[in-house]
Each structure stands twice: as C-alpha cells, then as structure tokens.
Amino acid sequence: MKKQLVYKRFNRFWHWTQSALIFFLGLTGFEIHGSLTFFGFENAVHYHNNAAIGFIVLIVFAIFWHFTTGEWKQYLPTAANLREQIAYYLDGIFRNAPHPTQKTALSKLNPLQRLVYLGLKILVIPVMVMSGLLYMYYRYPQSYGIESIRIFDLGTVAVLHTIGAFALVSFVIVHLYLITTGHTITSNLKAMVTGYEELEDEKH
C-alpha cells in the first residue's frame, strides 16, 4: 500500500461545497413542499433560490475544472468489470470478497460509479437546474408589465423538479453508505478531507 494524492484541492472544495448546497436545497425544498417547518415558507423560498444560484455557479466552475484538468475522463463509462462490480455490491461485499476494481489516482471510480456519476451529471442535475430555473423565472418583468414563458403546464415542471430531488436524496443515502466500505469505515471520508488515500502500489 502507498499513500497517494487522489483528490486535489479544488476537487475536495467542490465536493464538500456541492454536498452542503444539495443538503440545504433539499431542506428548504421540502419545506416549500410543506413536508417540514424550519425557516418559514417565505424564508425557505428565498434561501432555496439563493442556494440554487450558488449551486449553478459552482457547476460552471466545476465544468471548467473538469475539462481543463482532464478529470472529465473519470466518468467515461466502461463495461470492464461492470458485472463483477454489481455482483460485489450485491453479494461479495458481505462475504469480505476482494474488490474487483483497483482504485488509482488516475482511475478513481469503479465501472458502476462511472455510470451513476455520469447519469447524475448529464441527466439528473441538468433536469434539476433547468426545471428549477423555469419554475423560478417563468414570469419575468418587462417595461410594460409581467410576461410569462410559454410553458404548457408548470405543474409538470414542478413534478420533474421533485423527481430529480428524490433521485438526488436517494443518491446521497447510498453514497453515505458506500463511503463506509473502504479499507476502513472512515478511510474514504478521510481521503476526501485530506486528499490522500492508501492505495495499492500500481508497480506491483
């Protein structure tokens, strides 16, 4: 085993800031839906909208970082060891079976993670952002009054946004469980804090 830098500084900043924003958006979003009471409806709407703008700004910086550093390649899907990875999560992990994919600094994600993360980045998050923006700005001020974007059914937009929210919540729950499945219960968490992780030496 060798200690290696796996998660660079911006990678960690982006991860934790994104996590905090998603949590806060979920909290305020569920209050807007009436599922809980914490800030008060008007404050929840205000905080939710501001957090959403912050989330979009973070996405723009993250896209720039991914493409200028080549980190976007981490999400390229592969069929190699995909079945073995699924079998590992369904059964092997409970039998203490060896992990079918070796994690390296240049290949941080296993085949299943690549598919899930790619789906989040090109489907779930874009749907959340677009539906959220439509919901926020379907009415906009003009010099002669208030105009509305020609949306056939705003309710459909709200439903899509809610479905995306539940998909993100589901991902977070699974993610929280999977971070405990490293070499130790806290090794994955520590790696995302310090950037360094104990990995098998690629020379051997």
| Count of beta carbons in the 10 Å neighbourhood of residue 44 | 20
- Condensed to tens digits (0 to 9), the pLDDT of residues 47-99 reads 999 999 999 999 999 999 999 999 999 999 999 889 999 999 889 988 888 88
Interacting residues of 146 by C-beta distance below 8 A, sequence separation 6+? 139, 140
Does any domain span residue 137? yes
Please check the confidence at residue 170 and state whether its pLDDT lies above 80: yes
Does any domain span residue 141? yes
| Tally of domains within the chain | 1
Does any domain span residue 47? yes
Q: What is the mean pLDDT of residues 119-127?
A: 94
Does any domain span residue 57? yes
Give the percent of the chain with pLDDT over 90: 60
pLDDT of residue 41: 93
The 3-state secondary structure of 70-123, one letter per residue: CHHHHHCCCCCCHHHHHHHHHCHHHHCCCCCCCCCCCCCCCHHHHHHHHHHHHH
Contact 197, 191 (CB under 8 A): yes
pLDDT of residue 204: 47
Residue 46 sits in a domain of what CATH number? 1.20.950.20
Name the pLDDT band for 203 (thresholds 50, 70, 90): low
State the average pLDDT for the chain: 88
pLDDT of residue 121: 93
Does any domain span residue 191? yes
Please check the confidence at residue 176 and state whether its pLDDT lies above 80: yes
Does any domain span residue 204? no
Task: Provide the domain limits for residue 124.
Answer: 2-199
Distance of alpha carbon 43 from alpha carbon 108, whole angstroms: 39
Question: In 3D, which of 152, 148, 74 has the Cα closest to residue 115?
Answer: 74
CA angle 188–191–197, rounded 5-degree value = 95
Query: What's the distance, CA 81 to chain centroid?
Result: 23
Q: Which two tokens stand for residue 124?
A: 């779930």
